[in-house]
Amino acid sequence: MSATLVHPDGWYPASWRRLPARQMPSYADGAALQAVEQRLAHSAPVIASADAVRLRRAVAGLVEHGGFLLQGGDCAESFDDPVAEQVAGIVGLFDAMAARLGPVAGGALVEVARIAGQFAKPRSADVEVHDGVSLPAYRGDIVNGAAFDAPARRPDPQRMIRAHMQSVGTAASLAAAREPERPIFTSHEALLLPYEEALTRRDASGRWWATSGHMLWLGDRTRQVDGAHVEYLRGIGNVVGVKCGPGLEADGLLRLVEALDPANRAGKLVLIGRFGARHIAEALPPLIRATRQAGKRLLWTIDPMHGNTSVSGKRKVRRMRDILAEVDAFFAIAQAEGVAPGGLHLEMSALDVTECLGGRGPASLDELERNWLTACDPRLNARQAIDLAGHVAALLA
C-alpha cells in the first residue's frame, strides 16, 4: 500500500477507497490481494516520473502553441504477447503514421501508445452467458483469463504481478527503440485502482505520480465525479485523458474538469470524444462550447473507434466509413467552435488483422474470421491505420 501522506485537500493515493468504485473485480481472498498490493508498492516503477513530467510539458505545448497528439495501440494487451515483436510493430506503425502527420501537425507531434499497462477492460455486463452457462465477464489479463471456464474467469490478484513485470519490460523496450528526442510515451485506462495505487510514487518535490504509465485515462463508464476513479486521477501529476461519450452533458463535463484540474493547468487534461458518427453532431458542440467559454486550458481529441461499434452474431463490428465520418465531423465541429482539433486516439495493430470492415481491410462480415486476433475489440490493421493518418493529414493541411 502507498504511504498515506495527505494533500491539503484530503487526497492521498488510497483516498479513492472511501468512494464507490465501478468496473472493479471482486477478489475472493482479501489477504492475497493485500499481499500483492504490498509487493507492488515496493516494486520498480514502470516509467520514471521525470518522463511523465516530460509528457505533461509536451501536452501543455500542444494546448498553448498547437500541434497534434497521436495515441493508439491494442485494445487490450495479453500475457501471450511477444513483447519484442509487439514493440517493434507499434514503433514501425507510429513511424509510418508520423511520416504523414508530422509535416502538417502545425507544431509538435506527440506520440502516445496504448501499451505497457493496457491490460484491464471495462465491461457492459458483469457476467457472460454461453449455452446456459453464466461466468464472470473477462476483464483483461490483469484480472482473469479469457477462456470460458470457471477457474480462468475467477479474478486472481497474482495477475497484477505478471502484468507489472511485462509492463516494465515493454516500457524499457519501447524506450530503447526510439531516440530520446522522439519518445513514444505509454498510456492505459486507469481502471484497476489497487494496481494504480500501489504504483503511485512521490517525487523529491512532494508531488505524486502514477508510475504505471505516462498518461492514464478515465473511461466513459467510470467518470462519475463523486466516484473512486475521478478521486484517484485528480491527485496525480500525470496527463489524464477523459473519454467523453454521448451521455455526457456540458454541466457534467465542467464539473468533471473542475474536479480533475481545479487549477486549470495546461497539459493536465485531454478530452477524448467517442460519440459515434451518428451522435457527434449533436453531442460534441455543446461540450466544446462549454469548455471554451469557461476558459479551460485542455486538449480536445477524437476516438472514432468506440462509438462506432455494433454487433453481428458473436462479433463486434467497426466500419471504416463510420470511423472516417466521425473524424471528419470532429474536425468540422472543432473548427466551427474555434477550438483546435488536437489529436487522434485509435485501437490499431501493426499486424494484418481482419477486424474492421472497409478500406484496406475485410470487405464483408465473412472475412472477419480470416485473421481475427484481438482479445476484445476490433482494431484497425496497419494499412487501415496508415491510410487514416493520411486522411487526417489532409484535414490538417
- First and final C-alpha spacing in the chain: 49
Asked if 21 and 193 count as a contact pair (C-beta separation under 8 A), the reply is yes
Query: Residue 286 is inside which H or E element, if any?
Result: helix 280-293
- Residue 231 contacts by C-beta under 8 Å, 6 or more apart in sequence? 11, 15, 16, 18, 19
Q: Is the pLDDT of residue 5 over 70?
A: no
CA 96/CA 111 separation, integer angstroms: 12
Burial of 168 (0-12, 13-18, 19+ CB in 10 A): middle
The percentage of residues in the chain with a pLDDT greater than 70, rounded to a whole number, is 98
pLDDT at 263: 97
Residues 160-195: pLDDT tens digits?
A: 999 999 999 999 999 999 988 999 999 999 999 999
CA 354/CA 367 separation, integer angstroms: 7
Residues 44-100: pLDDT tens digits?
A: 999 999 999 999 999 999 999 999 999 999 999 999 999 999 999 999 999 999 999
List the grid coordinates of 362.
475485410
Asked if 46 and 211 count as a contact pair (C-beta separation under 8 A), the reply is yes
Q: In terms of Cα–Cα distance, which of 302, 279, 284, 79 is closest to 169?
A: 79
- pTM to 2 decimal places: 0.96
Buried b (16+ CB within 10 A) or exposed e, 110-147: bbbbbbbbbbbbbbeeeeeeeeeeebbbbbbbbbbbbe
Domains annotated on the chain, with CATH: 39-126+155-396 (3.20.20.70)
Q: Is the pLDDT of residue 6 over 70?
A: no
Asked if 264 and 296 count as a contact pair (C-beta separation under 8 A), the reply is yes
Other beta carbons within 10 angstroms of residue 365's beta carbon come to: 12
3-state secondary structure of 123: coil
